[in-house]
Amino acid sequence: MKDYQALVFFDLDGTLLDKESQISKENHEAILELKKKNSLPIIASGRSPKEIKQIIEGTPIDSYVSLNGQFNVAENQVVSKHVFSLTLIQELMALTEEMGHSLACYTEAEYAACYSDNSMKKLYHLDNAPMPQISTDFHKTHEIYMMYLFSEQPEKDALYREAFAERLTFFRDSPYSMAVVLKGQSKKAGIYQVIESLKLSHVPTYAFGDGENDLGMFEAVQTAIAMDNASTYVKSQADFITKSHVDNGIQFGLTHFGLLD
């Protein structure tokens, strides 16, 4: 295990990825150069391990915080994973059905929902990702690490948070959805778990992000960098605001902090 000079965490959507949900040529080159300069690039995303592995193929990235901290990997080794109980899933499903919202359940490699709706379609179109398979039994036969709740009614978010205040955390990460994780888990917790497993708590840490689910990531590192396409509130929580994700914001931020020439 190398003694890196810095750890750099990257959100994917709206941060490291372009409008087509791909790593641009410029960002690919930045990651290669970062690794050459003895800094460790690490993904921290709400996406699943399978999606992350597909996205980072061809890069030197081998560590990631996935499913908003529910499934975490360091140097290709799983260091922590957090499973929902069947009872908890069924309780949330009952409330989403009452509210008229759909819910998708995520494993390490797959995801499924009991039914689809327009909010779900909008979210997966936004992320350039395949729609979930439709199954009423998927959550009964698989280990579930994260759930996605599809709703375009943010005024009802508090109802979910109040109902599961002691057991779940809800991150509204798009106009169409909330990511759902176990209480105490988040990108922040996942980052701590990865750093501890690497025994690199003494190394300077940086994070790039754009969404509300990145705020915990910002808290976990020494230097938080918001993309220019982030909301005003997310920007207010950052130490530095770089250019947007479609305007070489990653390279600009890395260069600003001396991680790239």
Residue that finishes a domain, picked among 150, 182, 214: 182
d(CA 244, CA 86): 40
Q: Stretch 158-183: mean pLDDT, rounded? A: 95
At 164, list the tokens: 């599961």
In what order do the strands lie in the sheet containing 39-44?
77-81, 71-74, 64-66, 39-44, 6-10, 205-209, 223-226, 240-241
11 assigned to active site? yes
Over the chain, what is the mean pLDDT?
95
Query: pLDDT per residue over 119-153, tens digit each?
Result: 999 999 998 889 999 999 999 999 999 999 999 99
Residue 1 lies in a domain: no
Q: Is the same domain home to 189 and 66?
A: yes
Domain around 161:
86-182
Number of structural domains in the chain: 2
CATH classification of the domain holding 174:
3.30.1240.10
Question: How large a percentage of the chain has pLDDT more than 70?
Answer: 100
Q: 140 in a domain, yes or no?
A: yes
* pLDDT value of residue 196: 95
Instruction: Identify whether residues 172 and 116 lie together within a single domain.
Output: yes
Residue 213 binned pLDDT confidence (cut-offs 50, 70, 90): confident
Same-domain check for residues 153 and 237: no
Last residue of one domain, picked from the residues 158, 182, 206: 182
> Is pLDDT of 103 > 60?
yes
Same domain, 29 and 117: no
Provide the b/e sequence for 86-116 (b: ≥16 CB within 10 Å). Answer: eebbeebbeebeeeebbbbbbbbeebbbbeb
Question: In this structure, are 71 and 104 located in the same domain?
Answer: no
| End position of a domain, from candidates 157, 182, 207 | 182
Q: Residues 11, 127, 173, 210: which is the catalytic one?
A: 11
Question: Is the same domain home to 210 and 239?
Answer: yes
Q: Is residue 59 part of a domain?
A: yes
Whether residue 190 sits in one domain with residue 243 = yes
Residue 204: inside a domain: yes
Q: Are residues 52 and 90 in the same domain?
A: no
Q: Give yes or no: residues 124 and 146 share one domain.
A: yes
Task: Note whether 175 and 216 are same-domain residues.
Answer: no
Per DSSP bridges, beta strands 102-106 and 111-113 are antiparallel
Which of the four pLDDT bands, split at 50, 70 and 90, describes residue 73? very high
Do 153 and 233 belong together in one domain?
no
CATH number, residue 250: 3.40.50.1000
Question: Is 177 in the same domain as 190?
Answer: no
Tell me whether residue 69 is in a domain.
yes
Q: Does 165 reside within a domain?
A: yes
